[in-house]
Amino acid sequence: MAITKTDFMRGMQCEKMLWLDKHKPGLRLIPPEIQARLDAGNDFGDRAMSMFGPYEEMTVYRPGTTIPDKKAMLARTQEHLSLGTPVICEAAFSNYNNYCAVDLLRKTETGYDMYEVKNAPEVYEQFVRDAGFQYYIVTRCGVRIGHVFLVIHGPDEENPFLPVDITKQAKDCYSWINEHIWALNRLQKEPEEPPTQPGSQCTEPYACWYYDYCHGLNKPAEQLAIDDLTDQTPR
């Protein structure tokens, strides 16, 4: 069990969130409006793959599922890096099993530039950290990254993709990520749920899918059954 980009971002928002992802994912409750934004983000990312013309996508799914086959994606990525493919999308990298898939790598004379795509009107700090995590993993895999760009929504549909250079900010995250990634690795393996109390992390920077659980607004089925029996006990 190691850390992915999503694990890292969720764990840095709230340790309990990461622990629940690994031990009690059935407690997730994703509101329809959040799911709609996630779907829109995926669609924006898919369209951005062609922003520099022809590309090769590294995504491979396990047979009969929509679950990414990380091992196959890692192998396919290494193949295309060896071939010098000009534009590689969803390029997969793993360092000590910590994993990320980069939205877009574009070959340069000295290596690659990296592009992280976000369906948003401006650059937010969490996006920089997201890209910083990818830079950390990719460079530790021996790939030379020149510039790091965040691709946000352009001014209109005629110009839908606006790359913003965040190279310095993303690279500056390296030590911070190295400081926390190993602690999050240990945390997710702990047998006991962290005693984290609800707070601002429940909604910032993202709404937590376990909000109802942590605020006592929903209960596991077995607890509901116990409560029902208690309600029927004569007083």
Q: Which domains does the chain have, with CATH numbers?
A: 5-197 (3.90.320)
CB burial of 49-75 (b: ≥16 within 10 Å; e: otherwise) equals bebbeebbbbebeeeeeeebbbeebbe
Q: Which two tokens stand for residue 18?
A: 């990461």
Tens-digit pLDDT profile for residues 94-107: 999 999 999 999 99
How large is the average pLDDT for residues 63-81?
Answer: 96
Average pLDDT over residues 152-164: 92
Q: Which helix (H) or strand (E) holds 182?
A: helix 174-187
pLDDT score for 219: 55
Average pLDDT rounded to a whole number, residues 148-152:
98
pLDDT tier for residue 1 given thresholds of 50, 70 and 90: low
Signed CA dihedral, 199, 171, 78, 109: sign only: positive
At 158 the pLDDT is 87
- Tell me: pLDDT of 48 over 60: yes
What pLDDT shows up at residue 223?
Answer: 45
Closest residue by Cα to residue 112 from 140, 147, 141: 147
The residue with greater pLDDT, 234 or 7, is 7
Angle at 27 between CA 25 and CA 32, to 5 degrees: 100
Instruction: Quote the tokens at residue 70.
Output: 């990380």
Cα angle for residues 140, 153, 91 (degrees, 5° grid): 25
Q: How far apart are CA 190 and CA 209, in angstroms?
A: 21
Lowest mean pLDDT among 40-44, 96-100, 159-163, 217-221: 217-221
What is the predicted pLDDT for the residue at 70?
Answer: 96
Grouping H, G, I as helix, E, B as strand and the rest as coil, residue 151 is strand
Q: pLDDT value at position 217?
A: 87
- Distances from the Cα of 135 to the Cαs of 41, 140, 176, in angstroms? 21, 8, 12
- Tell me the Ramachandran region of residue 58: left when phi exceeds 0, alpha when psi lies from -120 to 50, beta otherwise: alpha
CA distance 117 to 161: 9
| pLDDT of the residue at 228 | 45
Any idea of the CA torsion for 34, 39, 41, 44, to the nearest 10 degrees?
-150
Specify the pLDDT at position 218. Answer: 65
> How much is the average pLDDT of 20-49?
94
Q: Is the pLDDT of residue 82 over 90?
A: yes
Q: Beta strand pairing status for 56-57 and 87-95?
A: parallel
Buried b / exposed e over 209-219, threshold 16 CB at 10 Å, is: bbbebbeeeee
Instruction: Convert the pLDDT of each residue in 176-235 to its tens digit.
Output: 999 999 999 999 999 999 999 999 999 999 999 999 999 998 655 444 443 443 344 443
